[in-house]
């Protein structure tokens, strides 16, 4: 490390002396390398999580138990959820933050580079621990159960009744939490301290703004999650009864704590998406972002409101009427700033001069499909009807619209948008088009019919179902396999870019306006950028 920094001072051409081989990645303190690690890691997790989901869909293709045991089925739903939330989506955004925030604010690196290294390298260990429990369950002697209580791990199912691997789960969640908190602190410190001279807060790109707000959410709620799993741990092994009614505790307390983390968590997974899309749409519409200031305020108010809506996940636990009403009104309210965002994107496109390169295609698909998810969220907010929707496939449809065709689509948009800068070559257009259209069609075949089976009353986390749900489940599974295969196309696109195979990318391939600093450096971005800060007019 010291070598790198020393060289950095007395050489002009730094990347000449950049470290090579394994050491480059293991000991990296460079925001670009760490960003790359995060992005590859999250893509690997995306594929693993997807594999687990395909086990679920294979089982649910037909009524009856054909492929796995209901016990293993529950392990699949649980680990799928955990891997996708903590392994795929969150690290992908941290990867984007690492790569792009310094480039966007004209900083030489993240503010805390060694912590940056640590926060990444915790993750592979955390997920090895978690996934090892699945491997043991699938192949181990006596098939000891992996975590099987859903990604929401409600007590007492996860405490008194949790399998032995629950302790592995607790440890890995702690590690993920530490990693996220450090990542978030790094973003906050970087944004507050390393902006180029002249870049006032209200000149920052929206991606930086949304990530800054996300980072505050992370710092606020990850410790709550850590608290929840620690209480589980002591309930399981040290005789406490936080969540056990038999010992004077309260299983519902668990849900309050979990969702106090959990609801802000869902915004942690979507606010950076808002930033990505707000960066992309103006470039391809050749028109300034509509309502910059209101975008910032809307993001901030969504973040604040997200702390007072948690119990909308718990309408059926039997809260007092006044509490139920409060959470219903607050949840309805949160759709107002969400609507503002969507309207602003529409107005940005309006009377622009649009072209539809791959990043723009994903961004427009994001706006439309995320809106679908937001609208079903509004339906879920109507409490008396939520009594019917809750814990059915309708909820599954809702959150997959916001998380897959929302968060994941925005990550794809970001990847296609910035890959030229990261790799120096343009992503393959033909494969990219195929990936986009194939994902767009399959994601809807996969998740839209879930609304129907949910409304008709199919509960979620069911290994088997009544015949009236059969036809849609068949098509949902077809959509799932199709979507899964489509993502392999992106694997090829990414590998081609990493191998520098393809059309060479100019510094500013999308004709972005010159205020977007990331496009002022060459492609691929050199190992060190903005050693001397740019001056912002």
For the chain, what's the residue count?
Answer: 537
CB of 382: closest distance to ligand HEM in angstroms? Answer: 9
334 Rama class: left (phi>0) / alpha (psi -120 to 50) / beta = alpha
Selected from 173, 270, 281, 365, the binder of ligand HEM by CB under 6 A is 270
Contact positions with another protein (CB under 8 A) in 377-436: 378-379, 382-385, 387-388, 390-392
Give dist(CA 489, CA 492) in Å, integer. Answer: 5
Binder among 13, 433, 471, 503 for another protein (CB under 8 A):
471
Q: Are 311 and 323 in contact (CB under 8 A)?
A: yes
Is 451 catalytic? The answer is: no
Among positions 31, 80, 174, 312, the unique one binding ligand HEM when judged by CB under 6 A = 312
Catalytic member of 24, 256, 287, 460: 460
Measured in degrees and rounded to the nearest 5, phi and psi for residue 514 equal -70, -10
Q: Is 143 helix (H, G, I), strand (E, B) or coil?
A: coil
Q: Taking the complex as a whole, how short is the minimal distance between the CB of residue 312 and Cu ion, in angstroms?
A: 6
CB 421 within 8 A of CB 496: no
Q: Is 263 part of the annotated catalytic residue set?
A: yes
Closest-approach residue to ligand HEM (CB): 377
Those residues with Cβ within 8 angstroms of residue 92's Cβ, 6 or more apart along the chain or in another chain: 38, 39, 42, 43, 46, 411
263 binds Cu ion (CB under 5 A): yes
Element (H, E) at 377: helix 358-381
Cβ proximity to another protein: between 194 and 365 the closer is 365
Does 451 participate in binding ligand HEM (rule CB under 6 A)?
no
464 lines the binding site for another protein (CB under 8 A): yes
Is 114 noted as a catalytic residue in this protein? no
Name the burial class of residue 533, with classes exposed (0-12), middle (13-18) and buried (19+) by CB atoms within 10 angstroms of its CB. Answer: middle
For the question of residue 12 being annotated catalytic, the response is no
* Tokens linked to 21: 């081989």
Give the interface segment with ligand HEM, choosing from 212-220, 221-229, 247-255, 388-396 (CB under 6 A): 388-396
Whether 267 contacts 234, CB under 8 Å: no
Residue 416 annotated in active site = no
Contact flag: residue 349 with another protein (CB under 8 A): yes
Q: List binders of ligand HEM among 324-343 (CB under 6 A).
A: 331, 334-335, 338
Active site residue 180: yes
Tokens of 371: 């809106």
Binder to ligand HEM among 191, 372, 403, 446 (CB under 6 A)?
403
Which contiguous run of DSSP H or E holds residue 420? helix 409-423
CA distance 517 to 413: 19
Instruction: Find the shortest distance in angstroms from Cβ 80 to Cu ion.
Output: 19
Interface residue with another protein among 179, 324, 423, 508 (CB under 8 A) is 324
The distance from CA 102 to its chain's CA centroid, rounded to whole angstroms, is 20
Q: Which stretch binds another protein (CB under 8 A): 179-187, 332-340, 399-407, 487-495?
A: 332-340
Say how far apart CA 286 and CA 511 lie, in whole Å.
9
Q: Does 518 participate in catalysis according to the annotation? A: no
Contact call for residues 463 and 59 (beta carbons, < 8 A): yes
Assess whether 313 carries a catalytic annotation: yes
Name the DSSP letter for residue 287: S
Residue 9, both tokens = 């001072």
Q: Is 258 helix (H, G, I), strand (E, B) or coil?
A: helix
Closer residue to another protein (CB): 29 or 348:
348
Q: Is 265 a catalytic residue?
A: yes
Please tell me which residue in 267, 345, 418, 465 is annotated as part of the active site: 267
Active-site residue among 4, 179, 190, 486? 179
State the number of binding residues for another protein (CB under 8 A).
97
Contact stretch for another protein (CB under 8 A) within 4-12, 147-155, 270-278, 482-490: 147-155
Catalytic residue among 32, 57, 236, 263: 263
- Which residues carry out catalysis? 80, 109, 151, 179-180, 263, 265, 267, 278, 312-313, 338, 341, 460
């Amino acid at each position: 490390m010291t070598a790198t920094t020393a060289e950095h001072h007395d050489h002009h051409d730094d990347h000449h002396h950049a470290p090579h081989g394994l050491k480059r990645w293991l000991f990296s303190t460079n925001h670009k390398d760490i960003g790359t690690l995060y992005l590859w890691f999250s893509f690997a997790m995306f594929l693993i999580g997807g594999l687990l989901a395909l086990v679920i869909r294979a089982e649910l293709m037909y009524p009856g138990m054909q492929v796995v045991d209901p016990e293993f089925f529950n392990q699949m739903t649980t680990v799928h959820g955990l891997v996708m939330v903590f392994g795929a989506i969150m690290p992908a955004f941290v990867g984007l933050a690492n790569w792009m925030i310094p480039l966007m604010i004209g900083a030489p690196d993240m503010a805390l580079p060694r912590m940056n290294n640590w926060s990444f390298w915790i993750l592979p260990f955390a997920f090895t621990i978690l996934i090892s429990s699945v491997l043991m369950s699938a192949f181990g002697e006596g098939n000891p159960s992996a975590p099987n209580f859903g990604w929401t791990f409600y007590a007492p199912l996860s405490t008194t009744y949790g399998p032995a691997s629950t302790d592995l789960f607790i440890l890995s969640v702690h590690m993920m939490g530490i990693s996220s908190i450090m990542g978030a602190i790094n973003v906050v410190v970087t944004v507050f301290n390393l902006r180029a001279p002249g870049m006032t807060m209200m000149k920052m790109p929206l991606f930086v703004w949304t990530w800054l707000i996300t980072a505050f959410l992370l710092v606020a709620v990850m410790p709550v999650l850590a608290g929840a799993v620690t209480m589980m741990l002591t309930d399981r092994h040290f005789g406490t009864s936080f969540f056990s009614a038999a010992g004077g505790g309260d299983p519902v307390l668990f849900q309050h704590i979990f969702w106090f983390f959990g609801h802000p968590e869902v915004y942690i997974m979507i606010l950076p998406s808002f930033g990505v899309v707000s960066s992309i749409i103006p470039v391809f519409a050749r028109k300034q972002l509509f309502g910059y200031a209101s975008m910032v305020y809307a993001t901030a108010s969504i973040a604040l409101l997200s702390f007072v809506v948690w119990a909308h996940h718990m309408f059926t636990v039997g809260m007092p009427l006044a509490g139920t009403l409060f959470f219903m009104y607050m949840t309805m309210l949160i759709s107002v700033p969400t609507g503002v965002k969507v309207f602003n994107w529409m107005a940005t496109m309006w009377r622009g001069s649009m072209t539809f390169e791959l990043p723009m295609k994903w961004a427009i698909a994001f706006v439309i499909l995320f809106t679908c998810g937001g609208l079903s969220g509004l339906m879920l907010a109507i409490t008396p009807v939520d009594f019917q929707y809750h814990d059915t496939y309708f909820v599954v449809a809702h959150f997959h619209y916001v998380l897959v065709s929302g968060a994941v689509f925005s990550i794809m948009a970001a990847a296609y948008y910035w890959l030229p800068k990261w790799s120096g070559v343009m992503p393959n257009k033909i494969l990219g088009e195929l990936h986009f259209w194939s994902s767009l069609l399959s994601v809807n075949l996969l998740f839209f019919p879930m609304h129907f089976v949910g409304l008709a009353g199919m509960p979620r986390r069911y290994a088997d179902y009544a015949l009236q749900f059969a036809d849609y489940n068949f098509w949902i599974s077809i959509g799932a396999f199709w979507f899964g295969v489509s993502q392999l196309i992106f694997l090829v696109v990414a590998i081609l870019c990493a191998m520098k195979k393809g059309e060479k990318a100019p510094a500013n391939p999308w004709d972005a306006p010159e205020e977007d600093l990331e496009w002022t450096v060459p492609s691929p971005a050199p190992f060190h950028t903005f050693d001397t800060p740019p001056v912002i007019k």
